[in-house]
């Protein structure tokens, strides 16, 4: 039975960060101030240009005696350069790879369940959550230099959620250690590893202030207790929308229930605006998304495609007061298979700041998709769309997720 969506808690201070140009300096500042521990999870950890600044900060922290634990995804992150491996090992950085890809790559269904979260906690004092990888805004591992920074967001947060983020990262760390021990020493080794890695006492924190602060919740998606929480949080907020829904999402292939929520909102008079990927990045996500546009356009949904660079954001603002920022796309990989983490926020000031940035991108950097233009798209494009959808449906059938559509 799915775990319920966590309630919003008050007492948080939030800062919206756009792109690596804002995220990396904030991350480096927090890591350089660390005294006890740094936890970092990311899908991609790259060593090019500005992303190296974050890795250097991790090395500096470890060399001054801070416990530094890093988890990267085995598919998203390529092999670590040898020079960096030696430096980080010597410094004492504890590095783990989540689900390393085997000899058959992603051809086996078991390899499709990836670690897509982007989280960091420093001294249980400050946390970061969002969609930004440790990857320079102007560099792409597959496409090379980019003409403009990719559009993406993260949140820096202080308050009660920091301990929850740390606990979520600790649980994953323990499970990874147990699975490693199981492979090496069988069941007894796994049990020994679990006993040895029981949670340490929480780090000392400053006494809470009386200030109300922003209301927020950490919403996780995994394959255990939190299988549908992020999608349900989206659908609940869309279902309650009264005036406006704005969503910016990189890989947008919503299932039946999500499509119905958006269509129903538009039909009851809510302004629904979607900012979606306009540049070709990956075949499946690019072409499987477009057949969905038709029903949305007919319902009155405004669709704009972002094309100055890659859109990588996974954010939404509803009625100017509810917002979410995180790692989860609105597609089957994120909503059904990958480990994801979003912050859900109720704070008018934060929501309005994000809303203003999204509306600027829609007006100045997005190309509107007109219903007539969509209906006249070339036959070749329709064929590629059909192929992408068939392949995606087949993959979902193999995973036992046929009801998504």
pLDDT of 192 reads 54
Would residue 143 show up in a list of annotated catalytic residues for this protein? no
- The residue out of 133, 167, 196 marking a domain boundary is 196
Shared domain for 225 and 362, answered yes or no, is yes
Distances (CA, A) of 56 to 19, 28, 117, 123, 344: 19, 9, 21, 18, 31
- Is 200 a residue whose pLDDT tops 70? no
Place of tokens 């959550």: 129
Report if residue 201 sits inside a domain.
Answer: no
> pLDDT by residue (tens digit) across 276-285?
999 999 999 9
Tokens of 33: 């101030």
Of residues 47 and 225, the one with the higher pLDDT is: 47
What confidence category does residue 186 fall into, taking pLDDT thresholds of 50, 70 and 90? low
Tokens of 10: 């008050």
- φ/ψ of 237, rounded to 5, equals -65, -40
Residues ≥6 apart with Cβ < 8 Å to 284? 388, 391, 392
pLDDT of 198 reads 53
Backbone Cα Rg of the chain = 21
Q: What does the CA dihedral 363, 299, 389, 370 come to, rounded to 10 degrees?
A: -40
The range of the structural domain enclosing residue 266 comes to: 214-404
- Is 336 a residue whose pLDDT tops 90? yes
The angle formed by the CA atoms of residues 350, 332 and 74, to the nearest 5 degrees, is 90
Catalytically annotated residue among 46, 137, 152, 319: 319
Report if residue 227 sits inside a domain.
Answer: yes
pLDDT of 385 reads 95
Catalytically annotated residue among 46, 73, 116, 152: 116
Report the pLDDT averaged over residues 75-91. Answer: 95
Shared domain for 63 and 155, answered yes or no, is yes
Q: Would you give the distance in Å from CA 59 to the centre of its chain?
A: 25
Would residue 312 show up in a list of annotated catalytic residues for this protein? yes
Report the pLDDT averaged over residues 107-116. Answer: 85
Half-sphere exposure of 282 (CA within 13 A, CB side): 14
Answer yes or no: are the C-beta atoms of 98 and 115 closer than 8 Å: yes
What percentage of residues in the chain have a pLDDT greater than 90? 82
pLDDT of 208 reads 40
CB atoms within 10 A of CB 402: 10
Q: Smallest Cα–Cα separation from 155: which of 28, 323, 322?
A: 323
pLDDT of 207 reads 38
Catalytically annotated residue among 12, 136, 314, 331: 314
Shared domain for 239 and 123, answered yes or no, is no
For all residues of the chain together, what is the average pLDDT? 92
Report if residue 207 sits inside a domain.
Answer: no
Shared domain for 150 and 77, answered yes or no, is yes
Place of tokens 């760390």: 173
DSSP, collapsed to helix, strand or coil, labels residue 398 as helix
Residue 273 belongs to what H/E stretch? strand 271-277
pLDDT of 296 reads 98
CATH number of the domain encompassing residue 138: 3.30.870.10
Shared domain for 127 and 228, answered yes or no, is no
CA–CA gap between residue 232 and residue 85 (Å, rounded) = 40
Q: Smallest Cα–Cα separation from 3: which of 266, 281, 232?
A: 232
Report the pLDDT averaged over residues 339-365. Answer: 98
Catalytically annotated residue among 46, 73, 123, 136: 123
Tokens of 397: 């059938």
pLDDT of 111 reads 81
> pLDDT by residue (tens digit) across 150-175?
999 999 999 999 999 999 999 999 99
Q: Tell me, what DSSP letter sits at residue 336?
A: I
Report if residue 76 sits inside a domain.
Answer: yes
pLDDT of 1 reads 47
CA–CA gap between residue 366 and residue 303 (Å, rounded) = 9
Q: Smallest Cα–Cα separation from 98: which of 83, 84, 118?
A: 118
Shared domain for 223 and 324, answered yes or no, is yes
Catalytically annotated residue among 118, 136, 222, 347: 118
Shared domain for 223 and 192, answered yes or no, is no
Report the pLDDT averaged over residues 377-397. Answer: 93
Q: Would you give the distance in Å from CA 345 to the centre of its chain?
A: 15
Q: Tell me, what DSSP letter sits at residue 218?
A: E
Number of domains in the chain: 2
What confidence category does residue 185 fall into, taking pLDDT thresholds of 50, 70 and 90? low
Shared domain for 177 and 303, answered yes or no, is no
> pLDDT by residue (tens digit) across 232-286?
999 999 999 999 999 999 999 999 999 999 999 999 999 999 999 999 999 999 9
Distances (CA, A) of 357 to 17, 73, 352, 363, 369: 11, 30, 9, 10, 20
> pLDDT by residue (tens digit) across 283-329?
999 999 999 999 999 999 999 999 999 999 999 999 999 999 999 99
> pLDDT by residue (tens digit) across 2-53?
568 899 999 999 999 999 999 999 999 999 999 999 999 999 999 999 999 9
Shared domain for 175 and 246, answered yes or no, is no
Q: Smallest Cα–Cα separation from 387: which of 255, 250, 278, 291?
A: 291
Report if residue 209 sits inside a domain.
Answer: no
Shared domain for 233 and 307, answered yes or no, is yes
CA–CA gap between residue 385 and residue 387 (Å, rounded) = 5
Q: Smallest Cα–Cα separation from 200: which of 37, 12, 32?
A: 37
Q: Smallest Cα–Cα separation from 252: which of 283, 302, 222, 286?
A: 286
pLDDT of 400 reads 82
Category of 300 on φ-ψ map: left (φ > 0), alpha (ψ -120 to 50) or beta:
left
Shared domain for 152 and 38, answered yes or no, is yes
Residue 189 belongs to what H/E stretch? helix 161-196
Would residue 116 show up in a list of annotated catalytic residues for this protein? yes
- The residue out of 146, 168, 196 marking a domain boundary is 196
Catalytically annotated residue among 222, 312, 331, 347: 312
> pLDDT by residue (tens digit) across 45-76?
999 999 999 999 999 999 999 999 999 999 99
pLDDT of 329 reads 98
- The residue out of 137, 170, 196 marking a domain boundary is 196
Q: What is the 3-state secondary structure (H, E, C) of 161-181?
A: HHHHHHHHHHHHHHHHHHHHH
Distances (CA, A) of 24 to 20, 135, 203, 381: 5, 9, 24, 38
DSSP, collapsed to helix, strand or coil, labels residue 190 as helix
Would residue 319 show up in a list of annotated catalytic residues for this protein? yes
Report the pLDDT averaged over residues 344-352. Answer: 98
Shared domain for 140 and 236, answered yes or no, is no
């Amino acid at each position: 039975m799915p775990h319920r969506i966590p309630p919003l808690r008050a007492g948080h201070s939030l800062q919206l960060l756009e792109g690596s140009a804002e995220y990396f300096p904030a991350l480096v500042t927090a890591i350089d101030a660390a005294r006890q521990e740094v936890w970092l999870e990311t899908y991609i950890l790259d060593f090019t240009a500005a992303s190296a600044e974050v890795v250097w900060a991790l090395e500096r922290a470890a060399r001054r005696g801070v416990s530094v634990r890093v988890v990267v995804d085995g598919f998203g992150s390529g092999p670590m350069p040898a020079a960096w491996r030696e430096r980080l090992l010597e410094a004492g950085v504890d590095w783990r790879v989540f689900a390393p890809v085997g000899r058959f790559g992603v051809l086996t269904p078991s390899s499709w369940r990836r670690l897509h979260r982007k989280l960091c906690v420093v001294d249980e004092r400050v946390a970061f959550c969002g969609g930004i990888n440790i990857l320079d805004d102007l560099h792409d591992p597959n496409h090379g230099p980019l003409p403009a920074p990719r559009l993406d967001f993260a949140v820096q947060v202080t308050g009660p959620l920091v301990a929850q983020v740390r606990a979520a990262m600790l649980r994953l760390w323990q499970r990874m250690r147990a699975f490693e021990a199981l492979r090496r020493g069988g069941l007894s080794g796994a049990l020994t590893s679990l006993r040895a890695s029981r949670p340490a006492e929480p780090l000392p924190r400053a006494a809470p202030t009386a200030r109300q602060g922003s209301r927020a919740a950490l919403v996780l998606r995994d394959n255990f207790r939190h299988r549908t929480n992020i999608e349900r949080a989206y659908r609940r907020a869309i279902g309650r929308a009264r005036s406006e829904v704005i969503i910016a999402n990189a890989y947008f292939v919503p299932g039946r229930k999500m499509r119905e929520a958006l269509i129903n909102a538009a039909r009851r008079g809510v302004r629904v605006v979607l900012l979606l990927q306009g540049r070709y990045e990956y075949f499946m996500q690019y072409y499987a998304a477009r057949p969905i546009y038709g029903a949305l356009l007919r319902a009155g949904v405004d669709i704009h495609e972002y094309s100055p660079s890659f859109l990588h954001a996974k954010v939404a603002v509803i009625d100017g007061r509810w917002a979410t920022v995180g790692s989860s796309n609105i597609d089957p990989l994120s909503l059904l298979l990958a480990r994801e983490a979003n912050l859900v926020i109720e704070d008018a000031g934060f929501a309005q700041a994000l809303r203003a940035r999204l509306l600027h991108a829609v007006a100045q950097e997005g190309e509107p998709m007109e219903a007539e233009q969509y209906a006249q798209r070339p036959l070749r494009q329709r064929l590629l769309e059909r192929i992408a959808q068939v392949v995606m449906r087949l993959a979902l059938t193999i995973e036992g997720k046929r009801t998504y559509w």
